[in-house]
């Protein structure tokens, strides 16, 4: 009797386990059905002559394209859009407002001279313009050129409630070709920071406070939503580690929530502005510059020859008004130490326009505190 009871119990437990698996699968399918109509593909393109002229101006010198192939062969060798433009990139995004506002990554729409085409889940094509770019986070907002059409929007979740091990779903246009690609995984880590390459010229940006996931995030997925099993966007897919397996990153949606609110209310993204260019201090820089500290943000001009506007302290900025100088090391921001794990931009992003902050500076071996009133970034 005991043996028979045990078998029945095991069978019952197995059935319950299968029911839970089916329930989880159904939730994932339901979340995809809910979110997918609001997800779009973004095509970045240029006309051929502009594309050719830019290639010939690359730093390695003019490339005599016509020496190797005629114009017809060149036109046939580059990827093209349906209207004949040269396709130079792409990404994903999602509607955040029925009027046609689309959220994506800033690095997807960095090129001011490019043209942008949005393809909806129903395969409708719309021209779009960059409406706003977040100067701190890798976030941008496109606005579709429409005749008043209403678009399905994604529900915005709360990234502060994310938990390790939670199931997440990444949606986007994988590799720039496979629209509506869906992958699932879990939240593998929280509050990650990375340095990511943002364009073909090798420029990089520090991304902080990221969600790490093992859901497949491929090139082309950038800007697409990371959603929970209720179909709510909890992140914006942003980066993947090449050479590693199942390590991707998304920007928490709460970082983008302020941008959404600003754009709807003010027609632009409002961010506090300090006005310095800097590099983070580490042990190597400490030894090289003979500094008395191994942390902080050292104010330095960018190493770009004849670069207008590359001053270490932007003229007329809050930093300039407060007397910050090239060579100063900003040690703390409102008594919080600046380091590679807690950078200056991250602290600025958490501040408000008009807020008075206290910075501790290291200047010529002497520490001093200064007050700075943050202004809106123009």
Q: Which of 41, 45, 92, 107 is catalytic?
A: 107
SS (H, E, C) the chain: CHHHHHHHHHHHHHHHHHHHHHHHHHHHHHHHHHHHHHEEEEEEEECHHHHHHHHHCCCCCCCCHHHHCCHHHHHHHCCECCCCCEEEEEEEEEEEECCCEEEECHHHHCCCCCEEEEECCCCCEEEEEEEEECCCCCCEEEEECCCCCCCCCCEECCHHHCCCCCEEEEEEEECCCEEEEEEEEEEEEEEEEEEEECCCCCCEEEEEEEEEECCCCCCCCCCCEEECCCCEEEEEEEEECCCCCCCEEEEEHHHHHHHHHHHHHHCCCCCEECCECEEECCHHHHHHHCCCCCCCEEECCCCCCCCCCCCCECCCCHHHHCCCCCCCEEEEECCEECCCCCCHHHHHHCCCCCCEEEEEEEECCEEEEEEEECEECC
| Active-site entry in 92, 134, 138, 295 | 138
Q: Which value, in Å, is the radius of gyration of the alpha carbons in the chain? A: 24
Residue of 45, 222, 259, 349 with catalytic role: 222
149 part of the active site: no
Phi/psi at 73 (5° precision): -65, -35
214 is catalytic: no
Residue 124 annotated as catalytic: no
Please give the positions annotated as active site.
Answer: 107, 138, 222
């Amino acid at each position: 009797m005991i043996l028979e009871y045990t078998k029945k119990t095991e069978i019952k437990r197995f059935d319950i386990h299968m029911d839970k698996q089916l329930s989880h699968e159904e939730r994932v399918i339901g979340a995809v059905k809910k979110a997918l109509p609001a997800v779009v593909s973004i095509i970045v393109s240029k006309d051929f002559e502009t594309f050719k002229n830019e290639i010939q101006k690359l730093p390695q010198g003019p490339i005599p394209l016509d020496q190797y192939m005629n114009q017809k062969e060149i036109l046939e060798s580059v990827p093209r859009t349906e209207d004949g433009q040269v396709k130079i990139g792409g990404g994903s995004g999602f509607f955040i407002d029925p009027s046609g506002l689309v959220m994506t990554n800033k690095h997807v729409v960095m090129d001011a001279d490019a043209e942008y085409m949005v393809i909806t889940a129903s395969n409708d094509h719309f021209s779009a313009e960059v409406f706003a770019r977040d100067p701190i986070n890798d976030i941008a907002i496109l606005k579709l050129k429409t005749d008043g059409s209403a678009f399905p929007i994604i529900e915005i979740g709360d990234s502060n409630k994310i938990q390790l091990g939670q199931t997440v779903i990444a949606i986007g246009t994988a590799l720039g070709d496979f629209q509506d690609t869906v992958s699932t995984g879990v939240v593998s880590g929280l509050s990650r920071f990375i340095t990511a390459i943002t364009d073909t010229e090798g420029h990089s940006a520090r991304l902080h406070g990221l969600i790490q996931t093992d859901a497949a995030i491929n090139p082309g997925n950038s800007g697409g939503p990371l959603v929970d099993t209720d179909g709510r966007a909890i992140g914006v897919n942003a980066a993947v580690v090449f050479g590693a397996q199942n390590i991707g990153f998304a920007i928490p949606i709460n970082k983008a929530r302020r941008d959404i609110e600003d754009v709807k209310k003010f027609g632009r993204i409002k961010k506090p502005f300090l006005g310095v260019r800097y590099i983070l201090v580490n042990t190597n820089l400490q030894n090289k510059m003979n500094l008395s500290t191994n942390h902080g943000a050292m104010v330095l001009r960018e190493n770009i020859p004849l670069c207008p506007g590359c001053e270490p302290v932007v003229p007329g900025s809050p930093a300039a008004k407060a007397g910050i100088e090239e060579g100063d090391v900003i040690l703390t921001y409102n008594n919080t130490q600046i380091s590679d794990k807690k950078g200056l931009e991250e602290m600025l992003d958490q501040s408000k326009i008009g807020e008075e902050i206290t910075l501790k500076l290291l200047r010529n071996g002497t520490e001093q505190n200064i007050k700075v009133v943050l202004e809106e970034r123009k």
